[in-house]
Structure 1
Amino acid sequence: MITYAQLTGVDEDTARRVLVAARSIAPGVDRLEGEPAKDAVAILRAVARELLPTRGSRHISSQGVATARVSYRDVQSAFTKEDRDSLRSLVGLGDSAGHPEGNFPKARPFKHVWPDEEYS
């Protein structure tokens, strides 16, 4: 089981926010064990470190010098497409895009009005 304490190098609040965001991307990621859990922790640590306020960070959306202002992006933006895909693969979720899955009726009442290919 993955906990916020395993995301070292960042404060507790950031670690918790990253873990919650990871759950929305890949449900069940915090219940992984063994090698998959170690892989997930490595990904989540990298994401959490990306959230640290360092100069030039991808998480900073804008900076100012004269008024000393810094604007940060949300936690979800710290996850790259690769991070998201990797976490989904660890919990066994496939790519959400693709062809419809399931059973579709072959005979439809509007088949004569609007002919179409039959799905299998």
Structure 2
Amino acid sequence: MSETPVPLRTRLREALLTAMRERDRVAVPVLRATIAAIDNAEAVEAPAPSGASQAIEQAPVGAGAADVARRELSEEQIEGIVRAELAEREAAAEAYSRAGRAEQAGRLRAEIAVLAAHLDGAARAR
């Protein structure tokens, strides 16, 4: 019997809840930032109002009247976003190291380890 793999986004959200309970000062911010990057990638621009000019009386009214459906990302796209977040931190850590700022580089490397652990899980789940 084959288990359905847990999506990367779900694993990140569960890890965030665990990190928050444990008050993990490294994992919480990196997981929040990564989840926010995924959420931002799903956002779509609201359609422009129809017509050249729209009077306020013609504007949509009510909660959710102007809502737009979010884009759905594939597991590969989500993994790509996580890899981009990881690469961004790797580049920054290298820059900090070159500048002699070992403490900042070390913190970024700890964040890299948090994200890499979840990517390794994505590779194993396939």
Task: Return the index of the structure with the highest Cα Rg.
Answer: 1
The two structures share one fold, judged by TM-score above 0.5: no
| TM-score w.r.t. length of structure 2 | 0.31
| Greater helix share, structure number | 2
| Greater strand share, structure number | 1
Larger relative CO (CA 8 A, sep 6+): 1 or 2?
2
